[in-house]
Amino acid sequence: MRALLKLFSPGLWLVLLMAVASTVLVALLPVRPSRGMQMWVFDANHFKIATTIAAGWNREHPDTPVEVKQVTGAAIQTRMLSAFYSGTPVADLIEVERSMIGQVFAGPVADIGFVDLTERLDREGLRSQINEPSFSPWTSRGHVFGLPHDVHPVMLAYRADLVEAAGIDMSKIETWDDYFRVLRPLMVDLDGDGRPDRYLLNSSPNTLFYHEVLLLQSGGRLFDESNHPTLNQPRNAHIIAQLATWYTGPNQVAAEAPVGGISSLQLIRQGYVIGMLAPDWFAGFIRLSFPDMAGKFKFRPLPAWEKGGRRTSVLGGTMLGITKASRNQEAAWAFAKRLYLSADSAKLLYEVDGIVTPIKANWHLPFFDRPDPFFCNLPMGRMFLQLAPDVPVRPSSPYYVLTQQLLSSVVIRLCQYADEHHTWTAAGLEPEAQRLLDEAQAKVEAQINRNTFLRDAR
């Protein structure tokens, strides 16, 4: 013992004793639970809406006020998963974007960090009041873990000024084949370099999200109802082969003009792409980004893959979940319903973000029928809502992001194959598309088979 004491100076021993004493003192202090609730959101407009609704809530519920914090998506994902896995502090309510949710569902259902809302929704009759397909990204193994924030049906936004100046009647277009045939005259070489300076759709091998949008519209899918991967189903190969003919070769009709960035905004302004795959939030983006281009854009349902086929798809999505760590779960549930189910919230969501609500009881509200002067007086809200029940269901698999990336890789490799072999027909590319999708399917299945919980749940 004396030898141990001689190893450290008296000052160091004093510091160590003070540290031990303070630790014991803190441990013995009574911990008063937080009186209110905290909510995390990742989007500035979502923050604006949530704080507006929270202000009214806080006046009426001083014992359980809500503090809304805007946190980056990456930070929300990191802090959320850390809390669920290790018990670190976390908000009572969290808005989660679709790409973030997968890892939450990676383990057993009982260990998911969000409160299971299935029984509450059924008991209160809310399932029938909310657009059913909008639950799919937030449902794992038959259990619902979040209220859907949105629907995000996709329409076709197009440069009405260029189309109508060319005397083209869009009402005659029913299928994608019709669309590319009728609008082909707009693909002109404006600068004399021998290449078109206009293309007909804003998609390319590198546009990760749009492949899935078009695949889902066509009836293809990445996972089945049990979240088993279905990348290599024949329908997917057929559609991917068709996309490759749009993206490359002598008959290329689509080109990249992604959302965001100065260069892409300039391309859209110049009419580099005539048509764009556009969910409801994209309408708000256009209005904000091009305030001087009122009257130049119109929207219409997507052309179908076959006559009588689906005229919409879906892109993006957010849910609101209640964490199991919350000490105010009943109050959190009441606030969640106020925020997502009320008519006031639906109005704010549409006016601030251009997003239509998934709450069917609010679909009758008159502001959805209001003509929008920016979009040639079209009733944009009503047009999106008419498509809402037909949006495709989406997977909630923890391997969704991986599968989406593999799909994009398949499209890129198929386009390379088309160029190398001078094969630019869908029929000629379909066998190679199937082979590449088989490879991708094997990779996803290998990953899933390492997860005991999901492997045994199938």
Q: Confirm if 222 and 393 have CB atoms less than 8 A apart.
A: no
**Can you tell me whether residue 443 is helix, strand or coil?**
helix
pLDDT at 11: 52
**Pairing of β 66-70 and β 37-41:** parallel
Residues 6+ apart with CB under 8 A from 399: 102, 229, 444, 447, 448
Query: How many CA atoms are closer than 13 Å to the CA of 389, on its beta-carbon side?
Result: 6
Q: Confirm if 159 and 274 have CB atoms less than 8 A apart.
A: yes
Best CA proximity match to 243, nearest among 290, 183, 295, 180: 180
H/E element, 413: helix 400-421
Best CA proximity match to 176, nearest among 276, 306, 273: 306
DSSP E strands in 262-351: the ranges are: 275-279, 297-301, 318-322
Q: What is the DSSP string of 275-296?
A: EEEEEHHHHHHHHHH-TT-TTS
At 357-387, the pLDDT tens digits run 999 999 999 999 999 999 999 999 999 999 9
CA 173/CA 182 separation, integer angstroms: 8
- List the domain boundaries for the chain: 37-148+315-390, 154-313+395-457
Confidence label for 258 from pLDDT (cuts 50, 70 and 90):
low
Region 161-179: what's the mean pLDDT? 96
pLDDT at 4: 42
Best CA proximity match to 145, nearest among 363, 379, 322, 390: 322
**Can you tell me whether residue 24 is helix, strand or coil?**
helix
**Superfamily of domain 37-148+315-390 in the CATH hierarchy:** Periplasmic binding protein-like II (3.40.190.10)
Mean pLDDT of the chain: 90
**Pairing of β 275-279 and β 147-148:** unpaired
At 108-131, the pLDDT tens digits run 999 999 999 999 999 999 999 999
CA diameter of the chain = 99
For residue 215, pLDDT over 60 is answered with yes
pLDDT at 226: 85
Confidence label for 412 from pLDDT (cuts 50, 70 and 90):
very high
More confident residue, 112 or 190: 112
Residue 217 CA to chain centroid, in angstroms? 15
Confidence label for 9 from pLDDT (cuts 50, 70 and 90):
low
- The reported pTM is 0.88
CA 381/CA 389 separation, integer angstroms: 14
At 419-439, the pLDDT tens digits run 999 999 999 999 999 999 999
Confidence label for 207 from pLDDT (cuts 50, 70 and 90):
confident
**Can you tell me whether residue 315 is helix, strand or coil?**
coil
Of 151-160, 249-258, 340-349, 390-399, the poorest mean pLDDT is in 249-258
CATH architecture type of domain 154-313+395-457: 3-Layer(aba) Sandwich (3.40)
Dig out the tokens for 188 from the structure.
């002109």
What 423-430 contacts at long range (C-beta under 8 Å, 24+ apart), as own/partner pairs, is 424/244, 424/245, 424/248, 424/249, 424/250, 424/251, 425/245, 426/238, 426/241, 426/242, 426/244, 426/245, 427/241, 429/241, 429/244, 429/245, 430/237, 430/238, 430/241
DSSP E strands in 16-58: the ranges are: 37-41
Region 188-201: what's the mean pLDDT? 86
Same CATH topology for 37-148+315-390 and 154-313+395-457?
yes
**Can you tell me whether residue 258 is helix, strand or coil?**
coil
Task: Encode burial over 246-268: b for 16+ CB neighbours within 10 A, e otherwise.
Answer: bbbbeebbbbbbbbeeeebeebb
Dig out the tokens for 241 from the structure.
């082969």
Q: What is the DSSP string of 105-171?
A: GSS-GGG-SBPP-HHHHHHTT-GGGB-GGGGGGGEETTEE-SEE----BEEEEEEHHHHHHTT--GG
More confident residue, 208 or 412: 412
Confidence label for 456 from pLDDT (cuts 50, 70 and 90):
low
List C-alpha distances in Å: 231 to 58, 102, 106, 205, 441.
47, 17, 19, 17, 6
Return the number of other C-beta atoms located less than 10 Å from residue 107's C-beta: 17
pLDDT at 18: 53
